[in-house]
């Protein structure tokens, strides 16, 4: 796999920082990183991949963000 997809949603920026750190690790291994928001990700394409990374902050009592991430999941 030459590309690694990182799908994430961030509210205050911390999850975005984490996604960037994952991306730096991917690049350090000579791979290309593709960052996507949940609304940009194509579920059918993701199903064909051997794997991908996801990230989302917990909202309140460990609840997923309701407008972007929860529908994606």
pLDDT at residue 32 in the model:
94
Tokens 């791979």 belong to residue: 31
**How many beta carbons lie within 10 A of that of residue 70, not counting itself?**
14
Looking at residue 35, what is its pLDDT?
96
Take residue 2 and report the two structure tokens written for it: 């030459």
The 3-state DSSP class for residue 51 equals coil
- Residue-level pLDDT at 61: 74
pTM: 0.83
Summarised one tens digit per residue, pLDDT across range 11-65 is 889 999 999 999 999 999 999 999 999 999 998 999 998 889 998 887 777 777 7
Q: What is the pLDDT of residue 1?
A: 63
pLDDT of residue 57: 80
């Amino acid at each position: 796999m030459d590309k690694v997809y990182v799908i994430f949603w961030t509210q205050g920026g911390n999850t975005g920082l984490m996604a960037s750190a994952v991306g730096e690790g991917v690049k350090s291994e000579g791979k290309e990183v593709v960052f996507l928001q949940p609304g940009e990700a194509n579920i059918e394409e993701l199903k064909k991949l051997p794997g991908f990374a996801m990230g989302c902050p917990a909202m309140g009592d460990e609840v997923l963000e309701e407008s972007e991430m929860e529908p994606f999941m």
